Structure 1
């Protein structure tokens, strides 16, 4: 005796998915964005919600920023690497200031220990 399901080979949600089951799609407009690698991305935006297309859109193929002008795509934005605490300190102080602070701290440490 064959056991199993009467709807073998099927899964929940399977079947024809047309507008009769989902409902009518909202009216939309498409905007083309072009990245520096020449890729075109065409996201859609709703007309009913008065959505305005953004000036830039990330390329779905390479991740570069895309613009609406195919001849002049936006350049790749360079991310600054992570800065260490020392790098931030060096931005605020010169080498001479650092030497003076080090000498002052060493003098205070030696005074506490009883050495000079």
Structure 2
């Protein structure tokens, strides 16, 4: 076991490769300024699409590019409510009809909370 270990090599902590003969990709430094007054640069590839905003490394606010790019304004869809989804399935006439039917059943004691049914059955039993 001791024969196979590399002594003094700090495995995973040090690379034995050097940078001779390696051609790096062309880079550009993109400047950003955040609303808190912090300014910083991010190195990016020349071929990369430069984002209009970047998170500030100091405070976390959204910093805007100094190159005059403005962030795209995305059209947000309004939130669909339960009522909107209901109106997709039923017309107002159908909803009125269903409401009328349910109110009649509720008033007749056929549906609804149990304590309402108990009161009506007691009244019927007393009157009979």
After TM superposition, the score normalised by the length of structure 1 is: 0.48
After TM superposition, the score normalised by the length of structure 2 is: 0.45
Please identify the structure whose Cα radius of gyration is greater.
Answer: 2
Q: Which has the higher contact order (CA 8 A, sep 6+)?
A: 1
